[in-house]
């Protein structure tokens, strides 16, 4: 899962990105509104954490442009502007949630988790497909009740596949949402990662669709 963090103050940007990364997100930071709009418009993100006071283009304008262009990526405004009027204005302009600075990292992660889960049509913090259960609060995965020890990359892969259970996910999509900007993974790296995850959760859990990608079948078969 990929999150775009839009924040012009370097230290705050790190304070936002770090807990999200620990929670298993691939995070990209941009520091001005025009860059934010460009990135969000050209690349798929699973959520955007958006500051309001930004150089070049303010946060509300970024959001209006995105929503005007029918971009429905979940947006959490994270701003020092905390009056009820400002919060109402933000939500009316298309934000899905609003958090006021200073913030607690745990609350930020919980809210981003909730936004992504709702956008995917999932009602709880647990993703369950067959006998696999992934808990986004604990960053844990169990198979038939036993906890499986996963590396961060394996966890990200499992989460993305489970979030999209029943849909074939392409290698290109996995490179973007699981690796983000880290290194230059190719399709071979994805295959190796899928193999490692299969070894841990059971080979038959992830099916390969030649030339298309991978799917955790679940109910959709």
* CB of 59 vs Ca ion, minimal distance in Å: 8
Nearer to Ca ion, 31 or 64 (CB): 31
Distance of closest approach, residue 73 Cβ to Ca ion, in angstroms: 20
When the beta carbons of 35 and 51 are compared against Ca ion, the nearer one is 51
Q: Which is nearer to Ca ion, 51 or 97 (CB)?
A: 51
Q: How far is the CB of 114 from Ca ion (least distance, A)?
A: 24
User: Please, what sign has the CA dihedral across residues 164, 165, 168, 173?
Assistant: positive
3 and 25 Cβ atoms separated by less than 8 Å? yes
Binding site for Ca ion (CB under 5 A): 8, 51, 53
**Distance set, CA 156 to CA 114, 148, 172, 208, 217 (Å):** 16, 14, 15, 18, 17
Q: State the minimum distance, in angstroms, from the CB of residue 1 to Ca ion.
A: 24
Look-up: residue for tokens 């283009």? 57
23: closest CA among 145, 129, 119, 113?
113
- Of 186, 141, 137, nearest in space to 162 by CA: 141
Q: Which residue is nearest to Ca ion (CB)?
A: 53
Nearer Cβ to Ca ion (24/33): 33
């Amino acid at each position: 899962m990929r999150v775009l963090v839009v924040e012009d103050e370097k230290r705050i940007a790190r304070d936002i990105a770090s807990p999200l990364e620990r929670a298993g997100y691939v995070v990209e930071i941009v520091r001005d509104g025009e860059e934010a709009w460009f990135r969000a418009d050209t690349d798929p993100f699973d959520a955007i954490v958006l500051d309001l006071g930004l150089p070049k283009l303010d946060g509300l304008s970024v959001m209006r442009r995105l929503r005007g262009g029918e971009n429905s990526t979940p947006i959490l405004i994270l701003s020092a502007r905390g009056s009820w009027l400002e919060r109402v204005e933000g939500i009316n302009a298309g934000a899905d949630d609003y958090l006021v600075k200073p913030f607690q990292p745990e609350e930020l992660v919980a809210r981003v988790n909730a936004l992504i889960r709702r956008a995917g049509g999932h009602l709880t913090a647990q993703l369950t497909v067959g006998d696999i259960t992934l808990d986004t609060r604990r960053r844990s995965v169990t198979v038939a009740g036993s906890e499986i020890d996963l590396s961060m990359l394996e966890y990200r892969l499992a989460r993305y596949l489970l979030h999209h259970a029943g849909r074939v996910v392409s290698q290109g999509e996995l490179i973007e949402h699981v690796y983000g900007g880290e290194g230059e993974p190719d399709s071979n790296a994805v295959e190796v990662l899928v193999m490692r995850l299969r070894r841990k959760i059971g080979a038959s859990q992830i099916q390969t669709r030649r030339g298309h990608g991978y799917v955790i079948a679940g109910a959709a078969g």
